[in-house]
Structure 1
Amino acid sequence: MSANGFRLLYTLVLGIIGGFAFKWIHMPVPWLLGPMIVTLIASKAIRRIKPVCPTAVRNSGMIIVGYTIGLAFTAETLRQIGRQLPSMVLLTVLLLLGSLAIAALVSKLSGVPFPTVLMGSIPGGLTQMVSLADDIEGIDITVVTFLQVSRLMMIIFFVPLLVFSPFFGGTGGRETAAATHAASSAGWDGLFPHVIGFAVLCTLFAVVGQRIKFPTAYLLGPMIATVLLQLSGYAGHALPAVVLNASQLVIGVYVGMLLKPEQLGNKLRIIVLAAFSGVLLILCSIGLSLLFTRLHAVSFVTAFLGLAPGGMDQMGIIGKEAGADLSVVICYQLFRTLFIFLAVPPLLKAIFRSMLRKRSPA
C-alpha cells in the first residue's frame, strides 16, 4: 500500500472511531461531528501521521448528500418556496446586515481591521470570501480563513446541540428525527439498477457545475439533477443508512482537517474573536428565526436551520436528522449562498476600495 493510501485508511479509521464514539454517547449527528472532532484532535496530537482526505472522496460524500436533499423536493414544495421569495430576500438581507454590525463591533473591540473581520463574518461564504480576500489589498487572508472555518465548525458543533435541546423541543425533536431518518433511509432492495441513472446524472451535474464555477457545485449539482428527475416523474430511491453515514463521515473528516491553528498569529485574541463572532451570529439567527415563524407556518427548527450561518450540506444533514422541512431549509440556504456569490463580492470590493481611497493622501 502506498503512503497516501495508508494515510487515507488511517483517516477513515479515525472517522469511524469518532462516529461510533459520538453515537455511543448519544451525540446528535454523530457521523458528522464525531469524525470532525477526532480528526482535528488526531491531526494535532499525532504528528507522525497526517490525516488526508482527497477532494474526490469528499466530493463523493457531497454528491450523496445532494441527492438525498433533492429527494425532499416536490412540485408542491417548490410552489411553496416561490410564495416565500419576498421573505427569503428580507431575511437574507437582515442576516447580512446583522453580520456587518457584528463585524463592526468585533473590529472595535479587538483592533483587527474592519474589512478583515467583515470578510471573515459573512455567513456561508468560505470559498468566495477567501478568494475575494486574495484580490483586495490590506486583507489578512489567514485571519479571514480562520474566522470562516472556526465559525463553520462552531455552527456544525453547536447547532445540533441547540436543535436537540429542550429549547428547540428536546426529546420530541429526537423522536421526530428518528422517524425522519427511518423514512429517508432504506435497505438495498430495489436500489439497483434504479439508482444508476441518478448516480450518472448527479455526477455529471456536479462536474459541469464545478466547471462553470457554480457555488457548492458538488452539492447543488446533484440536488438539481435529482429535483429535475423527480419532477419528470422518475422518483428517486432512499439510500441505505450506511451510505448516508459514510457521506457524513467523509464530510466531517474534511472539515476537521481545515482548521490549522498553528499557522495563526496572536492565537488567543483571534480564537476569542472567532468564538464571540460565532455566538453573536447564532443569536442573530435565532432572533430572525422567530420572525420567520411569524411570517410563515414553519417550525422553529426549520426556520433556524434555514437561517443558521452554516453551509447547505451541514444544515441539510442536521435538518434531515432533526425532522425539519428540508425543502425550506435548503432553499433559504441556497438563496443566501447565491446572493453572497453574486451580489456581495462586487459590493464589498466597491466599499473597501472607497475606504482605501478615503484613507490615502490626496
Structure 2
Amino acid sequence: MRPFILTALIAIASGALFEAVGMFLPWLLGPMFVLLILNQFTKLKFYWPKFLKVAGLVLLGVQIGSSFSREAVFLMWFDLPFMAFLTLSVVALSLLLGLLFRKMANETLATSLLGSMPGGLSQMVVISEDVKSANVTVVTMMQTFRILLVVTIVPFLTVFLNGREAGEILSQEFSFAPGHFFLAIAAGILIYFGMKKIGFPAAEVLAPILTMAGMQTITGEVLVEMPYWLIAMAQIFIGANLGLQMEQVREKMNIRLGAAIVVNNVLLIVFSTVIAFLLTSWLPGYLFLDFFLSAAPGGMAEMAITALDAGADVALITSFHLFRLFFILLVASPIVAVIVKKLDAKSAN
C-alpha cells in the first residue's frame, strides 16, 4: 500500500506541476517522465496496479468512441483508400528501417524487423517470443523507446500546428444519455471478453470504442461527454503505467543500441510528416494535424489523447490507427514472423 500511495501522490503532483508551467499533455507526460526518472535513478519503491491502467484505457476508449458521429462513421468509407495508403507506406518504411537497424545494431533480422514494426509493445513482444532468432529483450527495448520518443516528440510538435479549437475539452460539461449508454456498456463487456478469449490485443480500449461508436451511429445521439477532470484522471492512470513499465533501462541500454533506436524512430516520424503533407495536399479539406497524428507511429491511446488536447479530428485519427492496428496484427506481423521462421529453418539446415 505504501509504494502505491507514494506512486499516486507523485503522479498527481507531477501532473499538476506540468499543467502549472503550461506543458502540453501535462497529466500524461508529467507522471510518465517523473516516475521514469525516479524509477531509474532512485531506490524508491513504486507500485501501480494493473486495474488502474485498464480503467484509464476504458475511460479513454469511452471518450474516443463518443467522438464518433454517424456522419464520421459514414465518411470512413471515403477515407478507406487513404487509410490503406498511409498504413502500407508506414509499414513498408518500418521494414526498411528494420534493415537499417540490423546493420547499425548488429542484431538478427527477426529482432530488427519485429522491433521496428509499429504494432504495439505487448503484441510485438508476444510474436517475438515465438521466433527463435528474435532477441525479446531488444524487441522490448525498441518498442518501449518508440513509445517514449513518440509520446515525447509528437505532442510537442503539435503545439506548432493549427487545430480546430485546441483546449476545447476544458470547457466541456458532463452530459449523459443513460439508456443507450448502459446498453453500450453491456455490448462492450461482451465484445471485451470475446476479444480476450481469442487473444486480441488492446481489448480494454478497442471494446468501448467500437461499442460507443456503433451505438452513436445507430441512435444518432452522443451518449456521454466526460468532463476534463475525468479525462485527466485517465491520463494519470496511463502515464504512471508508461513511466513504470520501462524498468531497468540503464542496465539494458548501450550507446550503439540507443543510437540505432533513436535514428530508427526519428526517421519514421520524419517520414510520417512527409506522408501527412502528401495527404493534406491531396485532401485540402483536412488539417495537416489530422494526418500527422494519424501517421505518427505511436499507440492509438497516446495519439488519441494528443488529438483531444490539440483540437484534431479524434474520430478520423482513431479510424486510421484502428485500420493500421488491424492490418499489422492480422496481415503484416504474421507474414514477417513466417518469413523469419523459414529463414531460421534454412540457416539451421
Q: TM-score normalized by structure 2? A: 0.93
Shift of 1:269: 2.0
CA distance in 1, matches of 2:189, 2:152: 29
1:209 positional shift: 2.7
State the match for 2:98 in structure 1: 103
Q: 1:269 aligns with which of 237, 251, 256?
A: 256
Do structure 1's residue 348 and structure 2's residue 336 form an aligned pair?
A: yes
Structure 2 residue 177 is matched with structure 1 residue 177: no
Q: Does 1:249 align with 2:224?
A: no
Structure-to-structure mapping, 1:1-362, within 5 angstroms: 5-49=1-45, 51-165=46-160, 168-169=161-162, 173=163, 176-179=165-168, 181-182=169-170, 185-187=172-174, 199=185, 201-233=187-219, 235-262=222-249, 264-265=251-252, 267-296=254-283, 297-361=285-349
SS in 1 for 2:107: coil
Bigger mean CA deviation after superposition, 200-209 or 219-228: 200-209
**Cα distance in 1, alignment partners of residues 9 and 214 from structure 2:** 36
Q: Return the alpha-carbon distance in structure 2 between the equivalents of residues 115 and 150 of structure 1.
A: 18
| TM-score of the aligned structures, taking structure 1 as reference length | 0.89
* Amino acid of the structure 1 residue aligned with 2:138: V
**SS of structure 2 residue aligned to 1:260:** coil
Letter in 2 for 1:115: A
Distance in 1, matches of 2:341 and 2:190, equals 39
Structure 2: give runs of 5+ residues left out of the alignment.
none
What amino acid maps onto 2:224 in structure 1? H
Distance 2:47 2:179 in 1: 32
The residue identity in structure 1 corresponding to 2:152 is: F
CA-based RMSD: 2.1
Contact 1:62/1:251, CA 8 A, preserved across alignment: yes
- CA change 1:15–1:207 in 2 (3 A) is farther
Deviation at 1:247, TM superposition (A): 0.2
Indicate how the Cα distance of structure 1 residues 9 and 205 shifts in structure 2: closer, same or farther if over 3 A, else same.
Answer: farther
- Over residues 245-281 of structure 1, what are the superposed CA-to-partner deviations in whole Å (9 max), with x where a residue is unaligned? 0000010011111112357545222222221111111
The CA deviation string for residues 263-315 of structure 1, in whole angstroms up to 9 with x for no partner, is: 75452222222211111111111111112212323111100111110111111
Instruction: Note the C-alpha offset of 1:137.
Output: 0.8
Count of aligned positions: 347
**More divergent stretch after superposition (288-297 vs 335-344):** 288-297
Cα separation, 2, equivalents of 1:133 and 1:319? 31
Give the counterpart letter for 2:212 in structure 1. T
1:199/1:52 CA distance change after superposition, 3 Å: farther
d(CA) in 2 for partners of 1:258 and 1:107?
A: 25
Task: Provide the rounded CA distance (Å) in 1 between the counterparts of 2:319 and 2:198.
Answer: 21
| Cα distance between partner residues in 1 of 2:129 and 2:251 | 17
Cα offset, 1:79, TM superposition: 1.4
In structure 1, distance between residues paired with 2:179 and 2:341: 55
Rounded to whole Å, the distance in 2 between the matches of 1:309 and 1:55 is: 24
User: Alignment partner of 2:268: what SS?
Assistant: helix
Q: Report the Cα offset of residue 335 of structure 1.
A: 0.5
